[in-house]
């Protein structure tokens, strides 16, 4: 039988993969004793201490409220969506594609927190300290309170947290590059990511350090590693966007201290990522309303309305099976809406290719874009532009009826504020409300209806 030597604390029973002078669990000195066990027994013991905490069951009303006061990140809008800032002892997970700007944003946050007088430790498992220093200097984030370490070993980080004055903020970039000697497996494996995350989160909660973990994503855009990681942390944030575009979107997926599904729009500039204060029309760009095949949808992400351009191109096909392509939304939505148009408006799309996309590289999952997508397709099909200040939203069902969507009041107020007219939406608005796509065609293309 294959054996392995571990070290067990005689005071509390916690196990460790290597000897150290002080037990990390009970803080007693010179209590670790060597024991030889099978590899299966060592694996069952795990990386967490096997010791009773002695916790007692008490009435919830007798529990004292958490007195931790959040501190700012240096970005007012980021503090707002996090719920007044970073909470001491809380764990936050940030995910995004490579090169999307995760490290850049976290260095800006580290500089802002350090400038406020807090101690920050930046753990880099991907870059050297020289590379980190050069980027921090370009971003203006250098400060005496900002310290850094370049390592891929968890045991280099834990002693800093266990010191007399632990940092107020710990940034780990990234959790997939850090490994623990107490478990087997390569860095980035499910076992290592789970073990490293558990130790970091538990230690930071015990000493009151805010923790920011950077996570890699898979090909599908999902956070890599065990799903347990998303349940363990208090906040999950995703940074999205096209690396070839100047903008980035930060989306709050989970938040125990503030609102969910909130969104911040950043613009990538030479000095880092800057927050776009009013992104209402940011995604329209240099739009020309005199061209056919374009429509403006008042989309909503979280509680924030955006005016986004939807583009469509209908052209003659030379293929036996015409093409149907969609970018920035689910292409199945395009197939469904084209079938509704053929059935309800008696149009023939059998000999045309149809391409559609969301302008600005943005990705929309809002069902309210149905009406704008249909209007853009019809505009290109008839080769007639829509009214220059028109805006649309509404869901279209399989019978061609226009149905209300969430946040209708928010959309309508924003459209009115921006001066859009006509506003084509579900019939909740008596003046411009629509019930079917037949009414949409009559309102926009009466000559071709």
Same domain, 19 and 101: no
In a domain, 302, yes or no: yes
Helices (H), 348-407: 370-382
In a domain, 242, yes or no: yes
In a domain, 222, yes or no: yes
pTM of the model: 0.72
> Helix, strand, coil % (nearest 5) of the chain?
30, 25, 45
Token pair in block for residue 205: 């909660």
Same domain, 305 and 167: no
Same domain, 314 and 401: yes
Same domain, 85 and 117: yes
Token pair in block for residue 396: 């279209």
Distance (Å, whole) CA 370 – CA 377: 11
Last residue of a domain, one of 228, 248, 275: 275
Q: What is the CA radius of gyration of the chain?
A: 28
Same domain, 121 and 185: yes
Distance (Å, whole) CA 85 – CA 80: 7
In a domain, 189, yes or no: yes
Cβ pair 77, 275 in contact under 8 A: yes
In a domain, 114, yes or no: yes
Same domain, 266 and 389: no
Residue numbers in the known binding site are 96-103
Closest CA to 13 of 26, 30, 1, 22: 26
128 to 70, 302, 370: CA distances (angstroms): 31, 38, 48
Q: What is the pLDDT of residue 51?
A: 40
Question: Distance between alpha carbon 160 and the CA centroid of its chain, in Å?
Answer: 29
Same domain, 142 and 218: yes
Residue numbers in the known binding site for ATP are 96-103
Residues listed for the chain: 449
Closest CA to 229 of 182, 183, 174, 186: 174
Which CATH number fits the domain that encloses residue 352? 3.30.230.10
Last residue of a domain, one of 275, 293, 321: 275
Closest CA to 375 of 311, 447, 329, 280: 311
Last residue of a domain, one of 275, 310, 334: 275
In a domain, 50, yes or no: no
Q: What is the pLDDT along the chain (449 residues), one digit of tens a residue?
A: 566 778 888 777 778 877 888 888 777 888 888 887 665 665 555 444 434 444 578 888 877 776 678 899 988 888 888 888 899 999 999 988 888 889 999 999 999 999 999 999 999 998 899 999 999 999 999 999 999 999 999 999 999 998 889 999 999 998 989 998 888 778 888 888 888 999 999 999 999 999 999 988 776 666 766 677 888 899 999 888 777 677 888 888 888 888 777 788 888 888 888 888 777 777 787 788 899 999 999 998 777 888 999 999 999 999 999 999 999 999 999 999 999 999 999 999 999 999 999 987 788 889 999 999 999 999 999 999 999 999 999 999 999 999 999 989 999 999 998 899 999 999 775 556 799 999 999 999 875 44
In a domain, 296, yes or no: yes
Distance (Å, whole) CA 283 – CA 262: 17
Cβ pair 376, 295 in contact under 8 A: yes
403-418 burial, b at 16+ Cβ within 10 Å, e below that, comes to bebebbeebbebbeeb
Q: Cα 319–322–328 angle (5° rounding)?
A: 130
On the question of a cis peptide bond just before residue 422, with omega within 30 degrees of 0, the verdict is yes
Same domain, 107 and 122: yes
- Kindly tell me the burial class for residue 123, based on how many C-beta atoms sit within 10 Å of its own C-beta (0-12, 13-18, 19 or more): buried
Please spell the DSSP secondary structure of 258-298, one letter per residue: S-SS-EEEEEEETTEEEE-S--TTGGG-S--TTSTTEEEEE
Distance (Å, whole) CA 79 – CA 100: 21
Same domain, 310 and 356: yes
Task: Name the domain count of the chain.
Answer: 3
Same domain, 302 and 349: yes
Residue written as tokens 């130790």?
A: 199
* The 32-38 sheet, strands edge to edge: 15-16, 3-9, 32-38
Cross-strand partners of 352: 316
Same domain, 210 and 287: no
Which CATH number fits the domain that encloses residue 214? 3.40.50.300
In a domain, 18, yes or no: yes
H or E element in which residue 248 lies:
strand 247-255
Domain containing residue 7: 3-45
Same domain, 265 and 310: no
Q: What is the pLDDT of residue 48?
A: 42
Packed helices 102-115 and 129-139: angle between N→C axes, nearest 10 degrees: 70
Distance (Å, whole) CA 442 – CA 424: 12
């Amino acid at each position: 039988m294959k054996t392995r030597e571990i070290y067990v604390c005689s005071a509390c029973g916690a196990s460790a993969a290597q000897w150290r002078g002080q037990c990390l669990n009970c803080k007693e000195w010179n209590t670790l004793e060597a024991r030889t066990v099978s590899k299966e027994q060592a694996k069952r013991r795990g990386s967490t201490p096997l010791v009773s905490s002695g916790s007692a069951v008490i009435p919830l009303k007798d529990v004292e409220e958490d007195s931790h006061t959040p501190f700012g990140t240096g970005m007012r809008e980021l503090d707002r969506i996090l719920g007044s800032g970073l909470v001491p002892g809380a764990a936050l997970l940030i995910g995004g594609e490579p090169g999307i700007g995760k490290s850049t944003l976290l260095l800006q946050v580290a500089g802002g927190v350090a400038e406020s007088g807090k101690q920050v430790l930046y753990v880099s498992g991907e870059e050297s300290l020289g590379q980190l220093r050069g980027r921090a200097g370009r971003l203006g984030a250098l400060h005496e309170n900002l310290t850094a370490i370049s390592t891929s070993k968890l045991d280099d980080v834990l002693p800093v947290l266990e010191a007399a004055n632990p940092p107020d903020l710990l940034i780990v970039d990234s959790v997939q590059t850090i490994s623990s000697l107490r478990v087997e497996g390569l860095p980035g494996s499910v076992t290592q990511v789970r073990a490293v995350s558990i130790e970091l989160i538990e230690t930071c909660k015990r000493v009151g350090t805010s923790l920011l973990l950077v996570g890699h994503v898979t090909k599908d855009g999902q956070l890599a590693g065990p799903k347990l990681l998303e349940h363990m942390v208090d906040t999950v944030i995703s940074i999205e966007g096209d690396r070839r575009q100047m903008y980035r979107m930060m989306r709050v997926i989970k938040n125990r201290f503030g609102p969910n599904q909130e969104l911040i729009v950043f613009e990538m500039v030479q000095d880092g990522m800057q927050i776009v204060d009013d992104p209402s029309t940011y995604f329209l760009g240099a739009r020309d309303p005199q061209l056919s095949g374009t429509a403006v949808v008042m989309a909503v992400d979280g509680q924030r309305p955006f005016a986004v351009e939807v583009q469509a191109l209908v052209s003659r096909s030379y293929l036996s099976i015409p093409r149907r392509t969609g970018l920035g939304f689910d292409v199945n939505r395009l197939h469904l809406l084209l079938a509704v148009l053929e059935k309800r408006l008696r149009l023939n799309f059998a000999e045309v290719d149809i391409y559609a996309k969301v302008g600005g590289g943005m990705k929309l999952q809002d069902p309210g874009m149905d009406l704008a997508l249909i209007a853009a397709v019809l505009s290109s099909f008839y080769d007639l532009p829509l009214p220059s200040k028109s805006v649309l939203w509404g869901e279209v069902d399989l019978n061609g009826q226009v149905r209300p969507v969430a946040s209708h009041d928010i959309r309508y107020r924003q459209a009115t504020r921006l001066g859009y007219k006509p506003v084509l939406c579900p019939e909740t608005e008596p003046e411009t409300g629509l019930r079917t796509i037949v009414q949409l065609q009559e309102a926009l293309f009466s000559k071709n209806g």
